[in-house]
Amino acid sequence: MIRRWQQLFLSGWGTRVAAGSALLLGLTLAISNPRAFPVYGDQTVLPAGTELNEDALDRPREIFNSVSRGGGKSYLINLGDLAFSSPSILGGAARRAGISCNSCHVNGASNPQLYVPGLSTRHGNFDTTSVLFNPKADDGVLNPFRTPSLRGASLLAPYGHDGRIASLREFVRHVIVDEFAGPEPSPAILDALVVYIDDIGFLPNPSLGPGGRLVAARSSDAERRGEALFAKPFPHNPELSCSGCHTPSAAFVDHRQHDVGSGGLFKTPTLLNADFNAPYFHDGRFDSYDQVVAHFNAVFDIGLSVEDQRDLVAYLTAVGDGERPYERDGVITNVKEASDFASVLDIAIASRDKEVIALAVETVSGELRETVESFPERKDASVSGGGQERSLARLALKELVLTLRRIDLAAGADRFDDAAAEYKNFRYLMVSAVPTLLANAEPWSLFNPKVHDAHYAALKQTLQTAKRASP
């Protein structure tokens, strides 16, 4: 089912028929996604029932502006991306639970599955001023906000749902220190995070041409009618129109805050790639464009007919589209990411930068340890076959973890030549044996949807046994 939903987005404008309601359907399906496995037990850092959706097989596709321009990711971008994925730059419960920026902004997008009992009022939002993540920021009220996508962030200042912070750098620091109780980040790490976030691009949308206008040859009549309505002044407030704030030629934003009847002043969100950013509004109150359009129609008494609303939704869906929004998680993406993250060691070891070396080892080895668990151990009876292949893959990954640790130990003891030699060994393993051993085992890994489902079904079964007779 879920794949059919994604297929809808993958298949381009031609099948975008009635996508507004399809989006709603998609969201309902996403919420019941059997792959979102909750945290449970009585000793967990996060409340039992928390859903981080870390086991999702389809991940948002990440576009790097630097790569789109034909270049490559710089050291700073890789370092920022690394820090973004590192729980150790945060503090308190987030760090202990292994949560990083990337847990909520998956691959720089959002996480509509995110749900923390007591902090979320629905999937996709949560309260960033609560006692759980930073007791010092607890404001005593349940006021969850949706996790925004960071695609195109460099174009979307000011920051925060209410646009209260003009500088991205200042905002990132605020999130780390105030929302997630992290230690004061070093200027170098903060710079890298900003460079990375500024490099997160929008997914291309061939339906849009210069000025943010629809490309006639790629659009339907309904979408073009919607485009005209979008620019039309509101009958009772002729100084207002949709496009007045969502400026098509400027990433569909005006960099300002407005009261649109949702309980305060909130900044204009971009509509680019917004098909993948539900739920909508600052608190994520709406699941679909239909609801958003109906809200504006009612609040500003625009007098849109049912057909008009349908046309507007068709237009929004066209504007909010993006090419290949998801990609399948697998051996190749995992090895690529670990290689990119670890690449900072090249410069960090040469410049004897112990902070970055420690961060890289901590983060990459943590991710590699998690990847080991994607290859179930031999005794896991929920998987049959491929025992040798799985053991070899696990062994290779563990060797990488230990190689990284030797880099850390060597650098910690000021043996930087040893660290450089170990890093060379790491790179060699990453391009030679590791990808092959992992690919050999992939059919019996959790990257295979069948194995994945069997594994989680077994876990769920155990959970249900535990629940069945409980009061």
For residue 449, the minimal CB distance to other proteins (Å) is 17
Query: CA–CA separation, 248 vs 392, rounded Å?
Result: 53
Question: How many residues form the binding site for other proteins (CB under 8 A)?
Answer: 59
Nearer to other proteins, 169 or 406 (CB): 406
Buried b (16+ CB within 10 A) or exposed e, 34-52: ebbbbbeeeeeebbeebbb
From the list 318, 345, 466, the residue with the least C-alpha distance to 406 is 345
Q: Judged by CB under 8 A, which of 24, 29, 382, 427 binds other proteins? A: 382
Q: Is 369 in the site for other proteins (CB under 8 A)?
A: yes
Nearest-approach distance from CB 413 to other proteins, in angstroms: 11
377 binds other proteins (CB under 8 A): yes
Using CB under 8 A as the binding rule, whether residue 405 contacts other proteins is answered as yes
Residue 368 CB, nearest distance to other proteins (Å)?
11
279 preceded by cis ω (within 30°)? yes
Distance CA 410, CA 428 (A): 18
Three-state DSSP at 259 gives strand
CA-nearest of 312, 324, 322, 405 to 364 is 405
Who contacts 349 (Cβ-Cβ below 8 Å, separation ≥6)? Answer: 357, 407, 411, 416, 419, 420, 423
Nearest to 79 by CA among 410, 355, 400: 355
**Residue from 283, 246, 277 nearest 264 by CA:** 283
Binding-site string for other proteins from residue 303 to residue 342, where x marks contact by CB under 8 A and - marks none:
----------------------------------------
Question: Does 463 engage in binding with other proteins (CB under 8 A)?
Answer: yes
Nearer to other proteins, 99 or 316 (CB): 99
- 452 part of the interface to other proteins, by CB under 8 A: no
Instruction: Read off the DSSP letter of residue 177.
Output: I
| Contacting residue, 188, 387, 416, 439, with other proteins by CB under 8 A | 387
Q: Which is nearer to other proteins, 117 or 160 (CB)?
A: 117
Please pick, from the candidates 77, 97, 214, 356, the single residue that binds other proteins as defined by CB under 8 A: 97
> Is 421 a residue that touches other proteins (CB under 8 A)?
no
The residue from 111, 147, 205, 365 that contacts other proteins (CB under 8 A) is 365
In the complex, what is the shortest distance from the CB of residue 216 to other proteins, in angstroms, rounded to a whole number?
52
Among 409, 420, 421, 439, binds other proteins (CB under 8 A): 409
- The H or E element that residue 30 is part of is helix 19-31
Distance spanning both ends of the chain, measured CA to CA: 33
Binds other proteins (CB under 8 A): choice among 6, 21, 44, 333: 44
Residues 186, 391, 416, 418: which binds other proteins (CB under 8 A)? 391
Min CB(457)–other proteins separation in Å: 9
Question: Which amino acid is present at 359?
Answer: L
State yes or no: residue 40 binds other proteins (CB under 8 A).
yes
Beta bridge partners of 266: 258
Nearest of 456, 342, 331, 354 to residue 35 by alpha carbon: 456
From the list 135, 432, 449, 450, which residue makes contact with other proteins (rule: CB under 8 A)?
Answer: 432
CB of 403: closest distance to other proteins in angstroms?
10
Partners of 200 in beta bridges: 64
Q: What Å distances lie between residue 251 and 33, 48, 286, 407, CA to CA?
A: 31, 39, 22, 44
User: How near is the Cβ of 49 to other proteins at its closest, in Å?
Assistant: 12
Region from 43-51, 134-142, 161-169, 281-289 binding other proteins, contact rule CB under 8 A: 43-51
Residue 319 has, within 13 A of its CA and on its CB side, a CA count of 30
Bridge partner list, 258: 266
What's the closest the beta carbon of residue 371 comes to other proteins, in angstroms?
12
**Segment contacting other proteins (CB under 8 A): 112-120, 205-213, 293-301, 431-439?**
431-439
408 binds other proteins (CB under 8 A): yes
Residues 390, 375: Cα–Cα separation, whole Å:
6
Give yes or no for residue 429 binding other proteins (CB under 8 A).
yes
Residues that bind other proteins (CB under 8 A): 39-45, 88, 95-98, 362, 365-366, 369-370, 377-382, 387-389, 391-392, 394-396, 398-399, 401-402, 405-406, 408-409, 428-429, 432-433, 436-437, 440, 455, 458-459, 461-463, 465-471
